[in-house]
Structure 1
């Protein structure tokens, strides 16, 4: 998926059915590139305008502030990752499946997130960089995870514990270890060292093996 097609896919997730002109798409694409490379604080609307090939005033006709421009980029991503409707779909795809074993569950979860981050790595990078500094990004993430994901995740872990497949640690601990391990692999490949010669699917397989063997009931 190209960067422009990836951007258009995210923008289509907005619920207000707003139509974006090609000029506006260029602004958003330039903002994604600039925020991703330099961070929000170090980026200027003048720089974004030059990269998009528009006057700076054109940006402010669409977005009142640089902050509004940032949110217009990240909000569709949050919708895709954690919006109520999509979060329910994600829960259904991952947690409402009859798995033969724990490895199948981890594989489904890991590759689901791998495909998403691979297609939207620049915007994910912006989200990770900025989520600690903007409550507008952090609070919906926490709320939607708690409301739509956590209980189903916990129930799945307990099911595999009762089947004597994984260790009898607190489910919250196991959830933390799974999320941190998968997220850490994706973070390393796509955001921290994207220039490295990664064998992406092999790295995901090793990550899955690490989790399955590490959590297996001995």
Structure 2
């Protein structure tokens, strides 16, 4: 699956209006170049050259280079990264009556995020590169995360703490420790050292063990 195929699958899964052939060429080229060079270092003329279109064609579809970036990144964050967590992820991970064991929940979270990252490395790389520089993307992520994910996580953490399974840390602290460890693993695995000699199953086990040793009573 190419970078654009993953993006196209995202749009189709959300019943978005289909892109024209020219838009497909532009978006494919932009995804490749933003992933390789970053948004700031990529010019619209370079995108046009790789896409095999005139630079003016880009501006007929997207008024500015930032509009093109947002056309790519916004769906990835708001309709894949966030709702994948906030909807599909919640349904898969935060099921009522399941995951009585904290280790089981951690494994479900980590495997779920691992498969997502593995499938969407170039798009994930663009999100990680650009979200820090675009407040509108940050605001959308925080809005959905706080509304859809945090309440479920709080419920589970309260349950585990009442059962004496994990330390009585504030929910925000538990969330931070889990998220930073999981994201650190995924970023290292797929972006920083993608060509390393990885034993993925063993690394997942070690990551879970590390979190458990820090949080279990």
Q: What TM-score does the superposition give when structure 2 sets the normalisation length?
A: 0.91
CA contact (8 A) 2:3 2:31 kept: no
1:40-59 equivalences under 5 Å are: 40-59=39-58
1:10-49 equivalences under 5 Å are: 10-14=10-14, 17-49=16-48
Confirm whether residue 88 of structure 1 aligns to residue 87 of structure 2: yes
- 1:33 and 1:63 map into 2 onto residues whose CA distance is 17
- Partner SS for 1:132: helix
Count of matched residue positions in the alignment of Structure 1 and Structure 2: 215
CA contact (8 A) 1:121 1:191 kept: yes
Confirm whether residue 137 of structure 1 aligns to residue 137 of structure 2: yes
Report the CA distance between 1:158 and its aligned residue: 1.3
The 1:146/1:111 distance shift into structure 2, 3 A limit, reads same
1:1-218 equivalences under 5 Å are: 1-14=1-14, 17-78=16-77, 79-83=79-83, 87-97=86-96, 98-217=98-217
Report the CA distance between 1:86 and its aligned residue: 6.7
Report the CA distance between 1:112 and its aligned residue: 0.9
Report the CA distance between 1:166 and its aligned residue: 1.3
- 1:31 and 1:201 map into 2 onto residues whose CA distance is 33
Report the CA distance between 1:11 and its aligned residue: 2.4
Unaligned regions of 5+ residues in structure 1, if any? Answer: none
Report the CA distance between 1:19 and its aligned residue: 1.4
CA contact (8 A) 1:14 1:76 kept: no
* Structure 1, 104-113 or 72-81: larger mean CA deviation: 72-81
CA contact (8 A) 1:91 1:149 kept: yes
- 1:196 and 1:51 map into 2 onto residues whose CA distance is 30
- Partner SS for 2:132: coil
